[in-house]
Amino acid sequence: MKPTSLISLFLALSAIGLRAEDKPLLAVPGAVIYETKLDAAPGAPWKAAKGKWELVEGVMRGSELEADKHGAVTRLPNKLQDFVIEYEFKFEGARTTSLSINAVKDHMARINITPKSVTIQKDDNDHEGPDKAVVFARFPTELAPGTWHKVRLEMVGDLMLGQVNDLVAWGANDLFKTPKMSPGFTVGGQSVDFRNLSIREATLNPAWEDVKATLPKPGEKVAPAAAPKGKGKGKKKAEAEK
């Protein structure tokens, strides 16, 4: 790392009280926008569009309802610019969960997680074409049920970085320069628990170019997607869980 980058990084960390071992990646987090342990019964400001959202054993649990024919979804009404989101989750039987960010119209980006994979992507923003989803990385993994895992999403300018445990990837797209809307959780199946959510303002890490050099390039780590279960249901189900 260049000396000037080290000095800039030290000053940025000192300004917000971060420790060096927190290791900023794309972003340096700043003021808190929203923070909750998710240890109370779900309610305002959360808006549940689908599924069942409840307090179970002191944390928020999301479960898909078969009658909805759609994955469970709950969102916050926040409009964001540059930010860092962190939280923890654990699988309690569900087949998939995601952290989803919307654009002013339609989807923008997400970290999609199954017990066996982590996908970091720009979403399809129009569904009718010509825009397409872009997978920046898909990692094979093993996420045991009943175990807490940590998620981090950073978005600054035209860049995003996603992290689940020690799996990290980044990507860039002009869509990310537009306002980010309604951060939220999705759950496919039953169930996923969530806790310790924070959303903070962010600025670009002055050492980002050095950090970027240590990460896979967008598209470099894209494992094959798992085959959908059941004939003819894969695409429909995937869309439903957004």
CATH of the domain at 110: 2.60.120.560
Residue type, 80: L
Is 176 part of a structural domain of the chain?
Answer: yes
Is 80 exceeded by the pLDDT of residue 22?
no
Our CA angle for 46, 52, 56, nearest 5°, is: 85
pLDDT, average across residues 169-177: 98
Range of the domain at 146: 25-240
Is 9 part of a structural domain of the chain?
Answer: no
What is the number of structural domains in the chain? 1
Is 70 exceeded by the pLDDT of residue 10?
no
* Spacing of C-alpha 23 from chain mean position: 19
The residues near 35 (Cβ < 8 Å, ≥ 6 apart) are 197, 198, 199
Is 70 exceeded by the pLDDT of residue 238?
no
Is 60 exceeded by the pLDDT of residue 20?
no
pLDDT band at 228 (very low <50, low <70, confident <90, very high): low
Do residues 187 and 42 lie in contact, with contact meaning Cβ atoms separated by under 8 Å? no
Is 120 part of a structural domain of the chain?
Answer: yes
Is 15 part of a structural domain of the chain?
Answer: no
Q: What is the pLDDT of residue 23?
A: 84
Write the burial class of residue 157 (CB in 10 Å: 0-12 exposed, 13-18 middle, 19+ buried): middle
Is 70 exceeded by the pLDDT of residue 3?
no
Is 90 exceeded by the pLDDT of residue 102?
yes
Is 60 exceeded by the pLDDT of residue 229?
no
pLDDT, average across residues 140-157: 97
What share of the chain has pLDDT > 70, as a percent? Answer: 84
Is 13 part of a structural domain of the chain?
Answer: no
Is 50 exceeded by the pLDDT of residue 233?
no
pLDDT band at 127 (very low <50, low <70, confident <90, very high): confident
